[in-house]
């Protein structure tokens, strides 16, 4: 009792009922007392304005997101200046909604984490500008976030996996394979040499004029292709697999896109329709394109797994492949990768679908990871800049090329 009295700074001779009454005059919030780290994450790297508050256990206290998909569908693609304006109009509202949902005030935050690389310059700028204002106003540490690093670590919110593990990041802006050795420690095995698979699928969807189809008019291009492909026969068209004879882990999708464009033009002439009208064989083309993309990704991933096993990075006890990013939500591609992981005795892990696409949760969690590891925490934002283009980790793709691993054929 003496210890309690000393802590509370009250007279030692209070009766028990008086002490009980004194304690009842305080409003305790056990859930806040137990949380040592709380990070607000802000994401504006492309066309989604998102924010979230996450604690060190991975508990999502609050989140909000504003999608620009419908706006950009009407213009046939993302116009950076339009994306920038929409971010400006929505970022304050999204952050306020997030904080309100979490029940956390800015003063209770441990840090603010924000995507600063890579992404659309105009979009990144909005997030960085707003975040630095918050940081300076509330005197909080700032944690700059690498967008792809955040995607790679998202899995650790839902699955307690240790380092190292292999990650495949596939999205509208990126496609790469990397070994994740630590929170900010990546070894790059291969990347797209031209465009990303998500971008390529979006362009095919536009070329097929799927926005004019009532069933797909509100879907992103990649999602429309996935749904349409279910009705098609992939065997009706045969597209050449990219980089077929290159024994590395790099990707390429621009050649495939060109081949698809030529095929669509040919079919439009055969069917006697104008460009912009929907082909009768659109579903078959969608199915064939999706299968070719999935097979290409699967083969490069297969080689990456074999390389990691050869180097002792993935041992039988920790052979994990993590697939994340927007295109990771494509279930056909996931099933294709399951065939690869089963053949190589690996475990395939994917974040929940809502965490595959861009979101504030992954940014906040990356902030938590960095906070716990004591990495990349800034107490002064002066001189911080966004980087539209930025590599991930240390590039060891030449080692993969030199290993010249032949990938056995799998029935996909």
Kindly report, residue by residue over 111-158, the tens digit of the pLDDT: 999 999 999 999 999 999 999 999 999 999 999 999 999 999 999 999
> What pLDDT, on the 0 to 100 scale, is given for residue 340?
98
For 266, the enclosing helix (H) or strand (E) is helix 254-271
Q: Has residue 400 got a pLDDT over 50?
A: yes
> What pLDDT, on the 0 to 100 scale, is given for residue 6?
32
8 Å CB contact between 289 and 204: yes
> What pLDDT, on the 0 to 100 scale, is given for residue 209?
94
- Summarised one tens digit per residue, pLDDT across range 257-302 is 999 999 999 999 999 998 889 999 999 999 999 999 999 999 999 9
Q: Can you give the pTM of this predicted structure?
A: 0.88
> What pLDDT, on the 0 to 100 scale, is given for residue 34?
43
Q: Has residue 390 got a pLDDT over 90?
A: yes
> What pLDDT, on the 0 to 100 scale, is given for residue 223?
94
> What pLDDT, on the 0 to 100 scale, is given for residue 71?
85
Q: Whole-angstrom Cα distance, residue 154 to residue 255?
A: 31
Interior angle at CA 203, CA 190 and CA 154, nearest 5:
45
| Letter string b/e over residues 250-272, b meaning 16 or more CB atoms within 10 A of that residue's CB | bbbbeebbebbeebbeebeeeee
Taken in order of first residue, the domains within the chain and their CATH numbers are: 38-158+357-373 (3.30.420.40), 165-350+394-403 (3.30.420.40)
pLDDT band at 193 (very low <50, low <70, confident <90, very high): very high
Q: What percent of the chain has pLDDT over 90?
A: 82
Structure tokens given for 338:
């399951």
> What pLDDT, on the 0 to 100 scale, is given for residue 25?
35
- Summarised one tens digit per residue, pLDDT across range 1-38 is 333 333 333 333 434 443 344 333 333 344 444 448 99
8 Å CB contact between 319 and 344: yes
- Summarised one tens digit per residue, pLDDT across range 361-381 is 999 999 999 999 999 999 999
Q: Has residue 220 got a pLDDT over 80?
A: yes
- Summarised one tens digit per residue, pLDDT across range 163-180 is 999 999 999 889 999 999
Structure tokens given for 124:
């990144």
β 320-324/185-191 pair status: unpaired
- Kindly tell me the sign of the dihedral angle through the C-alpha atoms of 87, 93, 95, 97: negative
3-state helix, strand, coil split of the chain in percent (to 5) is 50, 15, 35
User: What are the backbone angles phi and psi of residue 338, rounded to the nearest 5°?
Assistant: -65, -35
What's the whole-number average pLDDT of the chain? Answer: 90
């Amino acid at each position: 009792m003496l210890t309690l009295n000393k802590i509370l700074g009250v007279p030692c001779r209070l009766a028990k009922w008086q002490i009980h009454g004194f304690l009842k005059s305080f409003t305790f919030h056990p859930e806040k007392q137990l949380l040592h780290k709380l990070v607000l994450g802000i994401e504006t790297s492309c066309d989604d304005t998102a924010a979230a508050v996450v604690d060190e256990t991975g508990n999502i206290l609050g989140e909000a997101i504003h999608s620009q998909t419908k706006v950009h569908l009407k213009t046939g693609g993302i116009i950076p200046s339009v994306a920038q304006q929409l971010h400006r109009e929505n970022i304050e509202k999204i952050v306020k909604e997030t904080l309100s949902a979490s029940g956390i005030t800015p003063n209770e935050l441990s840090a603010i984490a924000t995507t600063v690389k890579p992404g659309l310059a105009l979009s990144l700028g909005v997030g960085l500008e707003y975040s630095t204002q918050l940081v300076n106003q509330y005197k909080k540490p700032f944690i700059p976030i690498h967008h792809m690093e955040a995607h790679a670590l998202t899995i650790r919110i839902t699955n307690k996996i240790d380092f190292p593990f292999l990650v495949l990041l596939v999205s509208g802006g990126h496609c790469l394979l990397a070994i994740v050795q630590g929170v900010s420690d990546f070894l790059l095995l291969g990347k797209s040499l031209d465009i990303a698979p998500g971008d390529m699928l979006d362009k095919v969807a536009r070329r097929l004029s799927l926005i004019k189809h009532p069933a797909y008019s509100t879907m992103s291009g990649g999602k429309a292709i996935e749904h349409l492909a279910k009705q098609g026969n992939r065997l009706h068209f045969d597209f050449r697999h990219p980089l077929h004879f290159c024994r590395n882990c790099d990707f390429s999708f621009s050649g495939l896109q060109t081949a698809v464009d030529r095929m669509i033009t040919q079919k439009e002439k055969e069917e006697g329709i104008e460009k912009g009208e929907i082909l009768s064989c659109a579903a078959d083309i969608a199915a064939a394109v999706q299968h070719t993309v999935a097979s290409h990704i699967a083969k490069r991933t297969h080689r990456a797994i074999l390389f990691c096993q050869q180097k002792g990075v993935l041992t039988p006890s920790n052979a994990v492949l993590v697939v994340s990013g927007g295109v990771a939500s494509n279930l056909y591609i996931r099933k294709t990768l399951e065939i690869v992981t089963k053949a190589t005795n690996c475990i395939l892990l994917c974040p929940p679908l809502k965490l595959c696409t861009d979101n504030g949760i992954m940014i906040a969690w990356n902030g938590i990871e960095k906070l716990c590891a004591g990495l990349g925490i800034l107490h002064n934002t002066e001189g911080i800049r966004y980087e539209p283009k930025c590599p991930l980790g240390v590039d060891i793709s030449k080692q993969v090329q030199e290993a010249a691993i032949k990938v056995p054929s799998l029935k996909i």
